[in-house]
Amino acid sequence: MPKLFIFFFLLLFAKLPICAQVSYENYCNSRFAYCIDYPNALIPQGEAENGDGQKFTSKGSKVSLAVWGQIDALSHGIKGKLEMDSKSKKVTYKVLKTNWFIISGYTKEGNIFYQKTMLIDDTFKTFVLEYPPAEKAVYDKVCGRLVSSFK
């Protein structure tokens, strides 16, 4: 019995460095003047043809990060954008400030999503991270880095 306990103890602590050792790369978009750090486990898919942003996916595409800019051409404002972006998702967390919001919850497919949108002048700058619930322990921590680096 003690050997089994030691085995599981070592197995538990052997996995901790994987979560703690997330390395990041930086992506900057010149058209909409924003930058964000993204986990280097996510593979850049190439900037969109119109230059508004890029998508990053994990091997097997279970995890994705999309980041883009767009002009608020219809003058929805930050509240209008929040309402539009919340419609197709089950939002369980929401923070609305003067020129930005964060929402989080679940997609129709059951994945966790985390989104931050900023409105600067007449331009929205948004990132959305989606990941399966099984990856929650790793990607919940990644969200903090995304938010702090998104400028």
- Least reliable range by pLDDT among 1-5, 22-26, 54-58, 77-81: 1-5
Q: Write down how long the chain is.
A: 151
Q: Can you list the domains of the chain with their CATH numbers?
A: 23-149 (3.40.1000.10)
Share of the chain above pLDDT 90, in %: 81
CB within 8 Å of 129: residues ≥ 6 apart = 63, 64, 65, 113, 114, 115, 139, 142, 143, 146
CA neighbor of 147 nearest in space, from 19, 33, 37: 37
Residues 9-33 pLDDT 10s: 333 343 333 445 789 999 999 999 9
Residues 99-146 pLDDT 10s: 999 999 999 999 999 999 999 999 999 999 999 999 999 999 999 999
